[in-house]
Amino acid sequence: MTMGYRPRVSQSFSAVSEATLSDDAIDSVISWFAGNGRDLPWRHDVPPWAILVSEVMLQQTPVVRVLPRWTEWMRRWPTPADLAAAPTAEVLRLWDRLGYPRRALRLQECARAIVRDHGGEVPRDSQQLLALPGIGEYTAAAVTAFAHHERAVVVDTNIRRVLARAVHGQELPAPSISAAERAAAARVLPPERERSVAWNQSVMELGALVCTARGPRCDRCPLAARCAWVTAGRPEGAARSRRRQPFEGTDRQMRGMIMARLRRDGHATLTELLELDPGDPQRVRRCTASLAADGLARREGEVLQLP
């Protein structure tokens, strides 16, 4: 019932990278998930494409916002071939306000690559997954685990946080993942295929619901009795000092406002768009130009429209 070596909080990550979790600890998290995991539609018996779509939508976006978009998306475009043939303007409209609309474009490019290169089926090979547009290391691993039920080291923000606390005694992981951290996650991953899939899903949910960044509910955590961070008295880490970038007044906010106008009307004149920020016309012009450069809008004279 022990976790093995418990590092002092003052040690660096590389110095404690050999730490891991016991089989009992892993089983406790899997059992917790069986009774507490959310009933989400992409966790049912759905095609790999549906899971790939969910993983792309869930990047930096809460489940509550993704659920209605994913449901409608899968109703409209249940296969890669359906999305590949869809008008790009409709794809961006249906993406709605999920944020980072370039993900919608990459997802359509991904669908076209799956149709063109893989006969319309989501590939199983990890290198083929990584070669798809918009699919990075995390998404490829998540599709391998959750869509194809194969062993893969899945490391998202929630999993990183649970392992940072339970295994390494740190309040929060570093801003970016290191090779040592990835290796530590690989050591924790059970060697058995089905158990590894269950662990990935369970520890991710634990981080989302219990071992949260700002208000961890340690009294409800199956790892609390063997958590290095709890044992150390839940010390505050240096990572807490990180500041979130303000959103109000940023180009990202303005791009979102312009995209909202285009989704609603299909097009808008530059004069109309300048009304979004009369005090800073250069900001509006800069954002319209960047949207066109990213392929999210098309400029024809003084009119900006969906592609």
Give me the DSSP letters along 18-45. Answer: T----HHHHHHHHHHHHHH----GGGSS
- What contacts 271, CB < 8 A, 6 or more positions away? 302
* Cα 109 versus chain centre, distance: 18
267-269 and 298-300 as β-strands: parallel, antiparallel, unpaired?
unpaired
Helix (H) or strand (E) holding 300: strand 298-300
Torsion-angle region of residue 159: left (phi > 0), alpha (psi -120 to 50) or beta?
alpha
Phi, psi of 269 (to 5 degrees): -80, 155
Q: Which of 18, 55, 90, 121 is catalytic?
A: 55
First to last CA, the chain: 58
Q: How many helices (H) and strands (E) does the chain have?
A: 15, 3
**132, 110 contact by CB (below 8 A):** yes
**304, 292 contact by CB (below 8 A):** yes
Helix (H) or strand (E) holding 305: strand 303-305
* Whether residue 121 lies in the annotated active site: no
- What contacts 246, CB < 8 A, 6 or more positions away? none
The tokens describing 42, both together, are 């992409």
- What contacts 16, CB < 8 A, 6 or more positions away? 5, 7, 167, 168, 169
Tell me which residues are annotated as active site: 55
